[in-house]
Amino acid sequence: MSMLPISSLRPRADELAALREAVARVAASRGPVLPFGVGPLDHLLAGGGLDGAGLHEVAGASASWSDDAAATLFAAGIAARFAAAPGVSALWALTRFDLYAPGLEQAGLGPDRVLYAQGRTDKELLAMCEDALRDGSLACVIAEVKAADQTATRRLQLAASEGNTPMLLYRRYRRYGQCPLGDPSLAMTRWRIGTLPSGRLASPGVGRGRWSVELVRQRGGPPFSLELEACDDQGRLALPAAARSRAIAAGGAAIHAA
């Protein structure tokens, strides 16, 4: 059995140069990264946060009203942090206007930071979002749809990259019990959000909402699941008090309150 010399297994200088150029192109295509500000969460995200020129998908853990509300507020909190700079707004597009504006404001997305658009069909809505993304003047674009095939997500990703604007696609349930994140997609990240019992308070009352935040898939990183406190009025998530001093296992693990 003949053995090749080690030198012949090394890439040539021109191959290394081409590889470095390809890596540089990928890095340049990414937008500004938006971290969550939660150490274990940002640590497990490729790039340390959400790509500001990419497509990100959100769905509820179930079709229940509570999980739907949690997923909506999760998206609103992200949009609020993208729209934190003065003079910029997020666009929220949907086919049926059933949003509760005071709830969005509690997650940091007040009426001065969001514009609304309504379309007749998902297809019309997605075309509207592509134009809004390419315009490049919005802080981010959010769309609520029940159907978006792989071609549609490719177009949204390209539009987000061209306009250097993040796209949040909230996938609503079409069939009870069938998670919409099962459909193929070119999204950079795919999130599944569910509600959990809130923590106990020293005095009678209801504590800060608590969510199961699951990253089902991400480019360049592993999936993981965390238990986090719901968005505050600045759109920020937080670790539950009992877990703030707890180290997270390498590679991703769920954090549970004691």
pLDDT digits (tens, 9 = 90+) for 242-253: 655 444 443 444
Q: Judging by DSSP bridges, how do beta strands 33-34 and 90-94 pair with one another? A: unpaired
Question: Could you tell me the residue ranges of all domains in the chain?
Answer: 32-198+207-243
Model pLDDT, residue 80: 97
* Better-scored residue on pLDDT, 24 or 82: 82
- pLDDT higher than 70, residue 229: yes
Cβ neighbours around 198 below 10 Å, total:
16
Does 32-198+207-243 carry CATH code 3.40.50.1100? no
Each residue of 140-186: pLDDT tens digit?
Answer: 999 999 999 999 999 999 999 999 999 999 999 988 878 999 999 99
Model pLDDT, residue 107: 96
- pLDDT higher than 80, residue 232: yes
Q: What angle do CA 229, 233, 238 make, to 5 degrees?
A: 25
**Cα dist from 206 to 55, 57, 104, 121, whole Å:** 35, 30, 19, 39
Each residue of 61-116: pLDDT tens digit?
Answer: 999 999 999 999 999 999 999 999 888 899 999 999 889 999 999 999 999 999 99
Cβ contacts of 10 within 8 Å, gap of 6 or more: none
- The separation between the first and the last C-alpha atoms of the chain, rounded to the nearest angstrom, is 59
* Residue that has been written with the tokens 């509570």 in this structure: 66
Model pLDDT, residue 24: 45
Q: Which of 254, 201, 196 is nearest to 66 (CA)?
A: 196
